[in-house]
Amino acid sequence: MKRAAIIGGGVIGGGWAARFLLNGWDVAVYDPDPEAARKISAVLDGARRALPMLYDKALPAEGQLTFCGSLEAAVEGAAWVQESVPERLALKHSTLKLLQDVATQDAIIGSSTSGFTPSQLQDGAVRPGQIVVTHPFNPVYLIPLVELVGNAANDDALLRRAEDILNSLGMFPLRVRAEIDAHIADRLLEAVWREALWLVSDGIATTEEIDNAIRYGFGLRWAQMGLFETYRIAGGEAGMAHFMEQFGPALAWPWTKLMDVPEFTPELVALIADQSDQQSGALDVRALERLRDDNLVALMRALKQRDAAAGALLNAHEATLKMPEPSVPLMSVTRTIPVDWTDYNGHMNEGRYGQVFSDAADAVMAQIGADADYIASGLSYFTVETTIKYLTECHAGDGIRVTSRITLADGKKLGLWHEMTRAEDGTVLATCDQFLLHVSLESRASCPPAVAVQDRLSALAKQHGTTE
C-alpha cells in the first residue's frame, strides 16, 4: 500500500490528507495541535462528500488514516512527505531537518509553501535534492493545480516521479521553470488582491461589489480559458496582436496601484472584516465551504462534459480508475450522486435515474464486447423499453451501487434487470427492467449480434441463471 505523511494538519495539510486518502493511499498525520484530529475530520467530511461527485466511476477504496504522536512515526515508510507547517522560514528549516533525519532517501519531501523558493527551503539541508516545492490551492481535495518547483539541486527523475504521483491523484502539476518568490499563481493573485484593497480603502467599492465583478465577469472566462486565451479572443479575427495594439497603450495610464498597498490600519481591517461578514450573511465557515465545494463540483463537471480545462483533467484521471471485476450479479455502477443531478425538491431528478441505468447497461455491453470498437464496426444495442420504479429518495453525496442481471438473451433480444442501492446500508433506491434490441447502425434495423458477442452474452447469461 502506498503511504504518505502529512506534517501539519491545518486547512492545507488536511486537504492534502484527503486528496491522498480518497485516492487509495494510507496517510499518517503529525501535528502537535491537540485539535488537529477534529480539524482534519471536518475537512475530510467535506472531501468525502465533494470529490467523488466529480467522477462517474468509483474512486479507489479509501486508505487508512493514522494520527501519530511523533514526526518520526508519521514519516516511517512514507514515499511522499508533505510539509504544511506555518509560513515561517525558520520553522520550515527545523521541520525539514527533522524530516530528513527520519525519511528514507528516496522519499519525496514536498513543501506547501506559497512564497519560499526551493533554494531557500534547501539551505543547510543534508540532501537538498530531496526537497521540492509542491504548492497547492484550497480546497486541495478539489482544486487540481499544484505548482511544482525545483532547481539544479533536484534530479529530473525525482521531479518526474513527483509529477507522476500528483497526476495519479487527479492533480495538475505545473512545472515552474525558474525559482521566483510566490511562484506563478500567487503573484497573479497578489496583484488582484492589492488592487482590491485599494478599491475598498478609497471607498470605490465594497468587498461584495469586487467579488461580484469577478464571479459574474472575468472569473467565468478565467475558469475555462485563463488570461491570455481570453484576451486572444477579445482581439477578434486579428487575434492577440490586435488586442495588444488596441489596449496596450492603456497600460501606461495610471489605472492601478499595483506597486503599493494601503496601510493595514485598524480602521481598514475593521472595514473589510465588517463588509465581509455582512456579505456572507448567516452562513458559517462550514456552510460556506460546502457552498464553495458544491459550486466547484458543478462548474468542473460542466467542463468535464465539454472535455475542457479542469474537466479534461478529470476525464483523463477517470480513465485510469478501474472497473469492478465481473460478478453475479454484475456490479455495473459504483458512484456518488453529484450535486448537479438534484432538482428543486432536493433529491435526484428522475431523468438521472435513466442516466444511471443507461450507464449500468453500458457496463454490461463492455462485458460482452459490445464496446466502442464494436459500435465503430456498425453494430450496437438500442434500448426499446424501460420500466423504472422509484422506491426511495436519493440525494447529492449519496454513494450508490447498481447490480445488473441478464434476464433475456434470445438472439437479437436482450433483457436486463438493474437494482440501485444505497452503498452505505443497502437500501433499495430504484429498479429498472430494460429491454434492448441488437441493431445494424447502417440499416438501423434489428439483426443478430456478431458471433463473438453472442458467445460472450450466452456465457454471461448462463452465469446469471438465464435460460435462453
Give, in degrees to the nearest 5, the angle at Cα 55 between 54 and 59: 115
What would the pLDDT profile of 420-458 be if each residue is shown by its tens digit?
999 999 999 999 999 999 999 999 999 999 999 999 999
Q: Is the dihedral of CA 380, 386, 391, 396 positive or negative?
A: positive
Using the structure block, give the residue that is written with the C-alpha cell 519525496. 108
- Supply the pLDDT for residue 181: 95
pLDDT for residue 247: 79
CATH class of 3-183: alpha beta
Q: How confident is the model at residue 249 (pLDDT cuts 50, 70, 90)?
A: confident
Rounded to whole angstroms, the Cα distance separating 445 from 146 reads: 51
Q: With cut-offs at 50, 70 and 90, classify the pLDDT of residue 252.
A: confident
Range 273-285 average pLDDT: 86
- pLDDT for residue 344 is more than 60: yes
* Mean pLDDT to the nearest integer, 50-72: 96
- Give tens-digit pLDDT for 103-128: 999 999 999 999 999 999 999 999 99
CA 104 to chain centre: 29
Helix/strand/coil for 461: helix
pLDDT of residue 282: 77
pLDDT of 468 reads 52
pLDDT tens digits, one per residue of 212-223:
999 999 999 999
Residues 31-52: pLDDT tens digits?
Answer: 999 999 999 999 999 999 999 9
* Structural class in CATH, domain 330-463: alpha beta
> 125-152 burial string, b = 16+ CB within 10 Å, else e?
beebbbbbbbbbbebbbbbbbbbbbbbe
CA angle 447, 452, 455 (to 5 degrees): 90
What is the arithmetic mean of pLDDT over 274-284? 86
Distance from C-alpha of 134 to C-alpha of 159, rounded to nearest angstrom: 10
Distance CA 122, CA 149 (A): 12
pLDDT of residue 149: 98
CB 175 within 8 A of CB 144: no
pLDDT of residue 185: 96
* Predicted local confidence at residue 1, as pLDDT: 74
Grid coordinates given for 172: 495538475
Question: CA separation (Å) from 351 to 259, 337, 342, 355?
Answer: 53, 13, 10, 7
The candidate with the shortest Cα–Cα distance to 432, out of 365, 464, 382, 385, is 385
**109 vs 328: which has the higher pLDDT:** 109
Lateral strand order in the sheet of 330-336: 330-336, 399-410, 413-422, 428-440, 379-390
Q: How far is CA 291 from CA 10, 46, 285, in A?
A: 20, 10, 10
Residues in the chain: 468
Backbone angles phi, psi at 224, to 5 degrees: -125, -5
Q: Name the segment(s) of the chain with CATH classification 3.10.129.10.
A: 330-463
In this structure, are residues 120 and 91 in contact, taking their beta carbons and an 8 Å threshold? no
| Bridging pattern class, strands 80-83 and 108-111 | parallel
* Span 70-90, average pLDDT: 97
Residues whose CB falls within 8 Å of the CB of residue 196, separated by 6 or more in sequence, listed in order = 207, 210
pLDDT value at 202 more than 80:
yes
Q: CA neighbours within 13 Å on the CB side: how many for 271?
A: 17
pLDDT at residue 144 in the model: 97
Average pLDDT, the chain: 94
Q: 330-336 and 399-410 as β-strands: parallel, antiparallel, unpaired?
A: antiparallel
Local confidence band at 253 (pLDDT 50, 70, 90 cut-offs): confident
Task: Categorize the per-residue pLDDT at 238 as very low, low, confident or very high, splitting at 50, 70 and 90.
Answer: confident
**Dist. CA 199–CA 218, nearest whole Å:** 17
pLDDT in tens, 120-166: 999 999 999 999 999 999 999 999 999 999 999 999 999 999 999 99
Residues above pLDDT 70, as percent of the chain: 99
Q: For 4-8, 170-174, 263-267, 363-367, which range has the lowest pLDDT when averaged over its residues? A: 263-267
- In the numeric block, the cell 454484475 is attached to 330
- On the CB side of 280, how many CA atoms lie within 13 Å of its CA? 14
Average pLDDT over residues 166-185: 97
**Does the structure show a pLDDT above 90 at 325?**
no
**Is residue 400 helix, strand or coil?**
strand
The CATH code for residues 186-281 is 1.10.1040.10
Quick check: 260 pLDDT over 90? Answer: no
CB count in 10 Å sphere of residue 160: 12
pLDDT value for 240:
86
The region that residue 369 occupies, defined by phi over 0 for left and psi between -120 and 50 for alpha, beta otherwise, is: left
Mean pLDDT of 363-381: 96
Residue 417 has pLDDT above 80, yes or no: yes
The backbone torsions φ and ψ at residue 114, rounded to the nearest 5 degrees and listed phi first, read -95, -10
Kindly report, as residue ranges, where domains of CATH 1.10.1040.10 are found in the chain: 186-281
Q: What is the helix (H) or strand (E) element at residue 242, kind and residue range? A: helix 239-247
